[in-house]
Amino acid sequence: MAVHAHPDDESSKGAATMAMYASRGVEVLVVTCTGGEAGDILNPGMRGIPKAQRDMAGLRRTEMARAAAILGVQQVWLGHVDSGLPEGDPLPELPPGCFARVPVHVAAAPLVQLIREFRPHVVTTYDENGGYPHPDHIMTHKITMAALEAAPHSESHPGFGPAWQPLKVYYNQDFHIDRWTAIHKGLLDRGMESPLAEMIEHMRSRLDADGSGRRSITTAVPCADFFEAREKALLAHQTQIDPNGSFFRVSRDLQADLWPTEDFELALDFTSRPPIDSTIDYVEDDLFDGIEPETPSGRGEA
């Protein structure tokens, strides 16, 4: 189960990994917390559509369906309303009733039910910073962790099905600075121009001065064979994705050569294996590492 804030997030974070597992017969469910209603058309090639004629919620539902089909995954909507990304100084208040303003225990309740119904071994979501500080991404982290806390206990939400304990929880780290720095350096070493310098500088500006804000990568999943599916799924979100943007200026073959994995940070581990030393990078290459094939799909009352 991959829990994301908006339609298109699933295609930029862990998409090739999901497509790989789906191709192997693993059931994969994307949970999209909001409908992306507050979004705008970011693809310059589509900005000619008059605002009065834009049904953003409808457009993004259609795009999400296409992306899910490309990745071979299931997808459900949690039903919350996009909070938008506040801009200005001071920042304006978020709109009433939006996702980020719903009490966490209320917003998490439908996710508790989904966890108990789908019964995942593994859950992926964002770290406590949301991957980047969008209010809906931070809220996605909060409700995912709250739902994971509640789902294994039958006294919590007793009408939502049998208790369920996923065995592993990961934070997506696809936008880790190490990855983009390696790709940037690889392009320059080949005598090629890199479109990534500005993005890397922005990433560095968000790290603490001593580098302590750098996240751990505990798990690097080889999935280069599914980079094409990831790219096609991203492009399916045509209102949001510029096909001439910087991401698409680095060929799939070069990405596969320079950084052939998608990366995760192990947040919670309920398997019986010894604990992972989180100070060591790249200790796993499989999200299901430590989960025995004969293990039932998760556990009940914890």
Task: Extract the annotated binding site.
Answer: 6, 9, 137
Instruction: Look at residue 283 and give its three-state secondary structure.
Output: coil
Sign of CA dihedral 94, 98, 103, 104: negative
What is the C-alpha to C-alpha distance for residues 126 and 119, in angstroms, rounded to an integer?
A: 20
The one-letter amino acid code at 265 reads E
Binding site for Zn(2+), by residue number, is 6, 9, 137
The answer to whether 7 and 53 are in contact (CB under 8 A) is: no
What lies within 8 Å, CB to CB, of 292 at 6+ separation is none
Which of 123-139 are b and which e, b meaning 16 or more Cβ less than 10 Å from the residue's Cβ? Answer: bbbbbeebbeebbbbbb
The DSSP H or E segment spanning 141 is: helix 135-150
Q: Cα–Cα distances in Å, from 176 out to 181, 185, 216, 217? A: 9, 15, 9, 8
What is the C-alpha to C-alpha distance for residues 76 and 212, in angstroms, rounded to an integer?
A: 36
Angle between helices 197-206 and 177-189 (to 10 degrees): 150
